[in-house]
Amino acid sequence: MAASGDGPLYDDAAGRLVRPYTVINGRTRPTTALDLLSQVMATGATPLGYLGPEHAQALDLCRAPVSVAEIAAHLTLPATVTKVLLSDLVDCGALTTKPPVFHHNPTDRSLLEAVLDGLRRQL
């Protein structure tokens, strides 16, 4: 039995009926560099060509800025599959991306010394 709103691709007892790699036609690499923390947002442009139901669901989730990890969780798809879906939407102009913003420099000497001091106290 299909859950309401999920269509024939999901069964309550069996789960997802279509393997994730078939959703993205066997592709394993996105054409756009996306990090799990990358923010994506719909541009409002109508995508040209055929989009599968997962593409439409992903696009619907992107009305406001949202991370790739959050979209993967909502779609219950592996992160790699989600990145390929999102890069398809970026390629057709339906999504825009923004890389994650880090508020510190991971090679900042004072940060590294503080981590080292904390580790020494634990030993």
Residue with tokens 């394993």: 28
The residue type of 108 is: D
Tell me how far CA of residue 19 lies from CA of 3, 32, 67, in angstroms: 17, 22, 23
Is residue 86 exposed (0-12), middle (13-18) or buried (19+ Cβ within 10 Å)?
buried
- Give 95-121 pLDDT, tens digit per residue: 999 887 766 666 778 778 888 888 888
- Give 51-77 pLDDT, tens digit per residue: 888 888 999 999 999 999 999 999 888
Which helix (H) or strand (E) segment holds residue 41: the answer is strand 39-42
- Give 9-19 pLDDT, tens digit per residue: 544 554 444 55
